[in-house]
């Protein structure tokens, strides 16, 4: 599932849904960097978040990879264990999945994008909600809590920030039925794929433009917490691990039960022998790349 490509070749993020019983989409690529590239540049060129490309390439310098460095682009995904409808936002993965309504005579599809999410002290809430409005060129009205935070750091925020290059919401926003929460663009794209926001969900400008054009008002939005995923691909069971959210790590540290439970649940779909050493190593490494764990 590894392929080689130039660093400036964009990775498509719309996939045909896998056959019934399978749950992996995409592919992993290996790219060569140019002398001017940072790891953040490579991530954006291939529609990957910063943390996920950094975890996939722990030995690569983030800011000076050097010309010709081989970088893994982790674009192969186990679909989250949810209904395949609407928007699914998996917080530990820092990735959004959108299942467009199926069109008659055409195969079902899934679109996926990296996202930035709320910091530990401004966590993005879990649960089922919906898109309540679509807002082009949104103005931003910073809540009092954010203005107070800036004031404590010696800065100030106005009550309203008009649309434009200084607006942190970017050019498009999907308002959620959760009061105060948006899925939106950003004027700071380097924060996509990290925990940097005050709870809202950030996409690259080019990604929110695409998602905004596709999504309808009323689309369900499931915000989930699945650091571990398992699924089948061509008769082989795969396991994918991401670092748990910081607020969960003390409870999950050295606790393999959640990872084992995910693998066991998927393995019940078909008869399989599990290599538990591979599961343990993948859970500890948490590189976000699916690993074959059955034989």
What share of residues in the chain are helix, strand, coil (percent, to 5)?
25, 30, 45
Distance between CA atoms of residues 179 and 176, nearest Å: 7
Helix (H) / strand (E) containing 292: strand 291-292
| Residue among 46, 198, 200, 233 flagged as catalytic | 200
C-alpha triplet 50, 7, 118: angle, nearest 5°: 15
| Residue among 184, 198, 233, 242 flagged as catalytic | 184
Of 184, 77, 174, 193, which Cα lies nearest the Cα of 129?
Answer: 174
Place of tokens 């943390």: 51
Active site residue 200: yes
Quote the tokens at residue 238: 């795969």
Active site residue 273: no
Residue ranges of the alpha helices (H) in 181-287?
Answer: 205-214, 246-252, 257-267, 276-285
User: For residue 152, what are the contacts with CB-CB under 8 A and spacing of at least 6?
Assistant: none
- Whether 77 and 25 have beta carbons less than 8 Å apart is answered as yes
Q: In Å, how far from its chain's centre is CA 283?
A: 18
- Whether 114 and 89 have beta carbons less than 8 Å apart is answered as no
Place of tokens 């290599």: 275
Catalytically active residues are: 184, 200
């Amino acid at each position: 599932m590894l392929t080689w490509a130039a660093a400036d070749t964009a990775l498509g993020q719309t996939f045909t849904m896998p056959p019934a019983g399978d749950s992996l989409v995409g592919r992993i690529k290996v790219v060569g960097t140019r002398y001017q590239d940072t790891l953040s540049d490579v991530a954006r060129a291939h529609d990957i978040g910063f943390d996920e490309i950094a975890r996939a390439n722990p030995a690569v310098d983030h800011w000076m990879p050097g010309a010709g460095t081989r970088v893994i682009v982790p674009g192969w995904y186990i679909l989250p264990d949810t209904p395949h409808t609407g928007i699914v936002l998996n917080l530990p993965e820092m990735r959004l999945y959108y299942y467009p309504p199926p069109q008659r005579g055409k195969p079902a599809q899934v679109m996926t994008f990296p996202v930035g999410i709320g910091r530990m002290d401004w966590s993005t809430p879990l649960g089922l909600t919906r898109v309540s409005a679509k807002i082009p060129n949104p103005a931003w009205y910073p809540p009092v809590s954010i203005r107070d935070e800036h004031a404590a750091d010696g800065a100030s925020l106005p009550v309203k920030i008009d649309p434009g290059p200084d607006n942190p919401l970017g050019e498009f926003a999907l308002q959620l039925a959760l009061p105060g929460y948006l899925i939106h663009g950003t004027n700071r794209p380097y924060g996509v794929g990290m925990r940097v926001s005050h709870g809202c969900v950030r996409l690259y400008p080019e990604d929110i433009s695409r998602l905004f054009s596709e999504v309808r008002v009323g689309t369900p939005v499931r915000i989930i917490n699945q650091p571990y995923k398992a699924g089948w691909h061509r008769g082989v069971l795969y396991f994918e691990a991401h670092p748990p959210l910081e607020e969960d790590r003390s409870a999950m540290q050295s606790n393999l039960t959640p990872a084992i439970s995910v693998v066991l649940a998927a393995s019940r779909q078909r008869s399989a022998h599990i290599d538990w050493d591979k599961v343990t190593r993948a859970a500890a490494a948490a590189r976000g790349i699916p690993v074959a764990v059955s034989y």
